[in-house]
Amino acid sequence: MPEHTPVPTPSADRAARPSTLLPGAVHRLVEVPGGRIHCVEQGTGPLVLLVHGFPESWYSWRHQLPALAAAGYRAVAIDVRGYGRSSKPVAVDAYRMLAHVADNTAVVRALGAETAIVVGHDWGSPIAAHSALLRPDVFTAAALLSVPYAPPGGPRPTDAFTRIGGDEEFYVSYFQTPGRAEAEIEPDVRGWLTGLYTGLSGDTLAPADHSGLFFVPKGARMADRFPTGRLPGWLEERDLDVYSAEFERTGLTGALNRYRNVDRDWEDLTAWHGASVAQPSLFIGGTLDASTTWMSDAIDAYPRTLPGLSAAHLLEGCGHWIQQERPAEVNTLLTDWLHDRR
């Protein structure tokens, strides 16, 4: 179990300030080999590192930080490199998986801890899984939300995504060319985020097709298939204020560069092709999330790929933004699982 580290080191305490968005939490910047990582921290106890996905920020864990703190944990949500107040390297290859694992490891050390439990959602899920895979000495357990674990390997990712798209273009392929997706998103960041959040939410997506948003017809934009109308129940205007303000300030290039490293990851992780994550693990997904339906084979393979799995929970009627759509259920599942680790 991660050691109790209630007092941050002096370097970790640099630039610490109370959060105006989340009472009781503290913002701080920590130094990592690639620059700096912005953290939002609440509570004392064993360290739990929370890693967000695309296109989000530390704020996507706003419901989990106080719940984990109340349960006796030191919960720390980061802005992944390229997001928010964390560093945004210029080079595309600075966003490879190995760099994210190095960031997570350095954050744990900067916070004065030797080990941590890592929790990830969306892109944060594979980042959390690979942190556990590559650094089992640091990450003693991993909880994965929405995106199932699939071991490195298989066909070259961009080749596989081209085949998936068929006559249209799969969204990961659409994101590959620097500047292309940015040109669609950045003229109306708030509108684009609203469409994506709404289109992948359980209470607002079209029941007959929860995957159409991921395919772009030739000559079209991804946003052309976004729904219009009411916001999903979990998303308030003030939440959109937070997300859109961050991306209007930073742009989307750093966030999109994660997608532009899938082939580099495939090459970097050759030695781990087919490898399982042995540490205790947990999976939580939504039944209406395309990630869980497309990757159902990965979930079926968990006895081999996640031999330490405690449980795989699929929340009925839930979409992609699981810890925001169903915060109470996710908090209960996480805290019960964490208590079992003590």
Residue whose tokens read 């009781």:
24
Query: Would you give the DSSP letter of residue 267?
Result: H
Q: Is 190 exposed, middle or buried (0-12, 13-18, 19+ CB in 10 A)?
A: middle
Give the DSSP per-residue string, 287-333: TT-HHHHHTHHHHHTHHHH-TTEEEEEEETT--S-HHHHSHHHHHHH
Q: How far is CA 142 from CA 123, 148, 273, 308, in A?
A: 14, 12, 19, 10
DSSP annotation of 224 reads G
CA atoms within 13 A on the CB side of 329: 17
With contact defined as beta carbons under 8 Å apart, do 42 and 70 qualify? Answer: no
Strand partners, 143: 119, 282
Q: How far apart are CA 56 and CA 49, in angstroms?
A: 16
**Which residues are annotated as catalytic?**
122, 320
Separation between Cα atoms, residue 72 and residue 313, nearest integer Å: 23
- Both tokens of 342, joined, read 């003590």
Number of H helices, E strands in the chain: 15, 11
Contact 151, 273 (CB under 8 A): yes
Closest by CA position to 198, among listed 229, 225, 232, 171: 232
